[in-house]
């Protein structure tokens, strides 16, 4: 199992604070069947700045520690940049890091709204050969009220990543139900942990895949698992034609 979104690098953001925290997270990940993790520290979200070269160095250090302790799990480099007007400039300067140096680029929206320039920025990223992946859209307040905003992004070529904990109800019933609506409308393409620690913000990957397999069957489960493998290889992921979530149905689930 591959986790493409995790705050496991020590001392960079609000995830692991010390190397021992990172090791504890790795051990828990292995228990859940995870063998590869893309480390994705926050970048320019108002609190943290973690540029490409810093992340790559930290990934190398953590992998060296895992080798010394004979822990068979691989850490790959990534980044979770907050959407901002400097993103393209920072990318051109070599400060923005895609997932495992592929064409797949995480984009984090603010928690309470979708900036007006989002569509244009996603388009500009694609012009540069990148495929933007919107992280945890189910937790964005404006998308919760207007899921057609996410539909418009996906319809124009972006992808989206759902949080494992959301599927398991860790963020409440509203977010859980929206998560199912997004899955059914082909508006999300990956399940990832967004783990920050082993306590309140843990992996939940095994539980989430159990829920998805039970609710949607092996084909849907395989799609999410195989897409994670394709991302780290820089290959085209599976995507079905996106569908609109009817507003009446969406409001009726609360």
Model pLDDT, residue 246: 77
pLDDT recorded at residue 247:
63
Checking if the pLDDT of 251 tops 50, the result is: no
Predicted pLDDT at 55? 98
- pLDDT category at 252 given cuts 50, 70, 90 is very low
Q: Has residue 253 got a pLDDT over 50?
A: no
Mean pLDDT calculated for residue range 12-33:
97
Across the range 108-135, mean pLDDT stands at 97
Calpha distance 4→237 (Å, rounded): 13
Rounded to an integer, the average pLDDT of 118-143 is 97
Residue in the structure block whose two tokens are 């979770």: 80
| CA distances, 245 to each of 125, 181, 216, 220 (Å) | 26, 7, 18, 18
For 43-95, what is each residue's pLDDT tens digit? 999 899 999 999 999 999 999 999 999 999 999 999 999 999 999 999 999 99
Q: What is the pLDDT of residues 200-233, one digit of tens each?
A: 899 999 999 999 999 999 999 999 999 999 999 9
Which domains, ranges and CATH numbers included, belong to the chain? 2-252 (3.20.20.140)
Question: In the structure encoding, which two tokens stand for residue 233, read together?
Answer: 């290889």
Q: Which two tokens stand for residue 16?
A: 């692991």
Instruction: Examine the pLDDT at 249 and tell me if it is beyond 80.
Output: no
Give the span between the Cα atoms of 4 and 229, in whole angstroms. Answer: 9
178 has a pLDDT exceeding 90: yes
Kindly report the average pLDDT of the chain as a whole number: 95
pLDDT at 158: 98
Cα gap 87→189, rounded to integer Å = 23
* Percentage of the chain lying above the pLDDT 90 cut: 96
The answer to whether the pTM exceeds 0.75 is yes
Closest CA to 90 of 125, 58, 117, 114: 125
């Amino acid at each position: 199992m591959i986790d493409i979104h995790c705050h496991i690098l020590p001392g960079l953001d609000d995830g692991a604070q010390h190397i021992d925290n990172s090791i504890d997270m790795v051990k828990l990940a292995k228990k859940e069947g995870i063998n590869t993790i893309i480390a994705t520290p926050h970048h320019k979200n108002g609190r943290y700045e973690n540029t490409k070269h810093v992340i790559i160095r930290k990934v190398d250090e953590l992998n060296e520690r895992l080798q010394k302790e004979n822990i068979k799990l691989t850490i790959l480099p990534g980044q979770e940049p907050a959407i901002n007007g400097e993103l393209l400039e920072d990318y051109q300067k070599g400060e923005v890091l895609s997932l495992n140096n592929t064409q797949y680029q995480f984009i984090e929206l603010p928690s309470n709204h979708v900036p007006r320039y989002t569509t244009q920025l996603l388009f500009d990223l694609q012009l540069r050969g990148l495929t933007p992946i919107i992280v945890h859209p189910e937790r964005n307040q404006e998308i919760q009220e207007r899921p057609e905003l996410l539909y418009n992004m996906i319809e124009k070529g972006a992808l989206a990543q759902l949080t494992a904990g959301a599927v398991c109800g860790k963020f409440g019933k509203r977010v859980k139900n929206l998560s199912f609506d997004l899955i059914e409308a082909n508006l999300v393409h990956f399940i990832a942990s967004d783990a920050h620690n082993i306590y309140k913000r843990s992996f939940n990957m095994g539980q989430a895949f159990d829920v998805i397999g039970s609710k949607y069957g092996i084909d849907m489960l395989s799609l999410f698992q195989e897409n994670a493998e394709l991302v780290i290889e820089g290959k085209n992921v599976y995507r079905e034609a996106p569908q609109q979530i009817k507003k009446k149905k969406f409001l009726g689930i609360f």
